[in-house]
């Protein structure tokens, strides 16, 4: 059973891999998956967001494609030449964005849902067998300042939420490597207020400690469970991090965008903090204070963040014996996504 009231960002459904069609007057518009819809009807439906990716798929609308022989031409094919800098100051007349998504081992990940957000709406695509995706932005969107990309996943994967400002007109191939690691099975949690404290542990001994009396509110479509993972930064640097300023430790909570709330505040969540109890395996001195940065996901407003923002939200301190890094009593994270530890 899932909490059905929460809506993820609206997704405008495109034809397989964001295929581009023509409405008869020379403008490229995204076809919708509803057969027989053309012309003005296609324009109207392409700009009409649905409540969620999950809802769209439940209605039998397929927003992506696996790259089979009958797949239509996509709006952008990989060229090997990606864009690292903007071609001019914003806004951009951008109508197609492409990139490659991989699994945790670095192999192409086919059939992965991709959400591209631009100018207040989100548009979906699905990667084909070689991992390539190309998402079209409707011709009715004439000005784009920046975009964000994320990857709704079932079964769950560690999906980043990435912003891009190095854009250009028409079509852009993203330079970022999107690598999605599989998430472990989570600790199942009861509905309603927790009768006692719950400790969610990662493989390195780090833990997220949920206090008794709080309620766990996962995003729509996610299981009523939580998992904590120490992310392997030595293998891969997610797109929301600055490679020149990496945290000493990076963790991700599954499901991303879970909130820890005061019971009875589901419709207008009041966040309650879950404590952090992490290993100090990087040699920080006893008593050292660190900043805990948190990534804004698809709906971070209750935590005072914006989508894709990576910002310090709380501090933690190395224990007197030097073995652990802990938040102070009554402090921690009420909004659970990715978080990283930065020494001061």
Query: CB burial class (10 A; 0-12, 13-18, 19+) of residue 54?
Result: buried
pLDDT at 201 over 70: yes
Please report the pLDDT score of residue 31 as a whole number.
32
Q: Say yes or no: 28 and 149 in one domain.
A: yes
Say if strands 198-201 and 207-210 run parallel, antiparallel, or are unpaired: antiparallel
Please report the pLDDT score of residue 153 as a whole number.
86
Range of the domain at 100: 11-181
Would you say residue 259 lies in a domain? Answer: yes
Please report the pLDDT score of residue 330 as a whole number.
95
Would you say residue 3 lies in a domain? Answer: no
> What is the C-alpha separation between 87 and 16, in angstroms, rounded?
28
The token pair that represents 60 in the structure block: 């039998």
pLDDT at 237 over 80: yes
Burial 132-170 (b: 16+ CB within 10 A, else e): bbbbbbbbebeebebbbbbbbbeebbbbbbbbbeebeee
Q: Say yes or no: 59 and 154 in one domain.
A: yes
Is residue 276 within 8 A of residue 332, CB to CB? The reply is: yes
Please report the pLDDT score of residue 342 as a whole number.
98
CA 25-31-32 angle, to 5 degrees, is 140
Q: Say yes or no: 27 and 175 in one domain.
A: yes
**CB neighbour list of residue 107: distance below 8 Å, 6 or more residues apart:** 131
Q: Say yes or no: 198 and 332 in one domain.
A: yes
| DSSP secondary structure code for residue 167 in this structure | -
Please report the pLDDT score of residue 54 as a whole number.
37
CATH number reported for the structural domain that contains residue 143 in this entry? 2.60.40.1120
Q: How many domains does the chain have?
A: 2
Is residue 137 within 8 A of residue 144, CB to CB? The reply is: yes
Q: Say yes or no: 224 and 281 in one domain.
A: yes
Q: Say yes or no: 275 and 139 in one domain.
A: no
Q: Say yes or no: 229 and 176 in one domain.
A: no
Domain boundary among 181, 203, 236: 181
Domain boundary among 181, 199, 218: 181
Domain boundary among 136, 154, 181: 181
Read off the pLDDT band of 74 (50, 70, 90). confident
| Closest listed residue to residue 93, CA positions, set 141, 44, 23, 164 | 141
Would you say residue 275 lies in a domain? Answer: yes
pLDDT in tens, 30-61: 333 332 323 333 333 333 333 333 333 333 32
Is residue 219 within 8 A of residue 337, CB to CB? The reply is: no
Read off the pLDDT band of 103 (50, 70, 90). very high
The token pair that represents 236 in the structure block: 């891969």
pLDDT in tens, 259-307: 999 999 999 999 999 999 999 999 999 999 999 999 998 889 899 998 8
Q: Say yes or no: 216 and 259 in one domain.
A: yes
Only one residue has tokens 């409540």, namely: 51
Would you say residue 2 lies in a domain? Answer: no
Would you say residue 81 lies in a domain? Answer: yes
Please report the pLDDT score of residue 73 as a whole number.
61
Q: Which residue has the higher pLDDT, 335 or 48?
A: 335
Would you say residue 1 lies in a domain? Answer: no
E strands in 26-120: 28-30, 94-103, 113-118
The token pair that represents 46 in the structure block: 């392409």
Q: Say yes or no: 110 and 170 in one domain.
A: yes
Would you say residue 258 lies in a domain? Answer: yes
Would you say residue 198 lies in a domain? Answer: yes
Q: Say yes or no: 83 and 204 in one domain.
A: no
> Average pLDDT of 84-100?
95
Q: Say yes or no: 298 and 225 in one domain.
A: yes
> What is the C-alpha separation between 223 and 235, in angstroms, rounded?
28
Q: Say yes or no: 125 and 197 in one domain.
A: no
């Amino acid at each position: 059973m899932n909490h059905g009231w929460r809506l993820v960002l609206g997704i405008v459904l495109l034809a397989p891999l964001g295929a581009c069609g023509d409405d008869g007057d020379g403008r490229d518009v995204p076809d919708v998956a509803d057969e027989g819809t053309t012309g003005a009807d296609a324009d109207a439906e392409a700009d009409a967001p649905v409540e969620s990716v999950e809802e769209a798929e439940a209605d039998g609308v397929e927003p992506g494609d696996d790259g089979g022989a009958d797949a239509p031409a996509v709006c952008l094919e990989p060229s090997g030449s990606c864009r690292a800098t903007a071609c001019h100051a914003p806004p951009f007349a951008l109508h197609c964005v492409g990139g490659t998504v991989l699994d945790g081992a670095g192999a192409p990940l086919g059939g992965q849902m991709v959400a591209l957000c631009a100018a207040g709406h989100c548009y979906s695509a699905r990667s084909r067998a070689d991992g390539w995706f190309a998402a079209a932005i409707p011709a009715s969107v004439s000005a784009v300042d920046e975009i964000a990309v994320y990857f709704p996943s079932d079964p769950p994967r560690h999906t980043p939420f990435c912003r891009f400002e190095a854009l250009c007109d028409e079509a852009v191939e993203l330079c970022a490597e999107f690598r999605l690691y599989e998430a472990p099975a989570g600790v199942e949690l009861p509905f309603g207020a927790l009768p006692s404290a719950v400790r969610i542990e990662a493989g390195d001994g780090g833990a997220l400690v949920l206090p008794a009396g709080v309620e766990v509110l996962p995003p729509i479509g996610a299981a009523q469970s939580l998992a904590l993972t120490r992310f392997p930064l030595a293998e891969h640097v997610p797109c929301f991090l600055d490679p020149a300023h990496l945290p000493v430790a990076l963790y991700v909570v599954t499901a991303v965008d879970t909130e820890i709330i005061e019971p009875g505040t589901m419709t207008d969540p009041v966040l309650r903090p879950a404590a952090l109890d992490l290993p100090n395996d990087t040699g920080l001195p006893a008593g050292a204070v660190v900043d805990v940065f948190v990534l804004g996901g698809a709906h971070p407003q209750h935590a005072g963040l914006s989508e894709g923002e990576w910002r310090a939200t709380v501090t933690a301190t190395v224990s007197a014996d030097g073995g652990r890094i802990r938040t102070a009593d009554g402090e921690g994270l009420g909004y659970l996504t990715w978080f990283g530890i930065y020494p001061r």
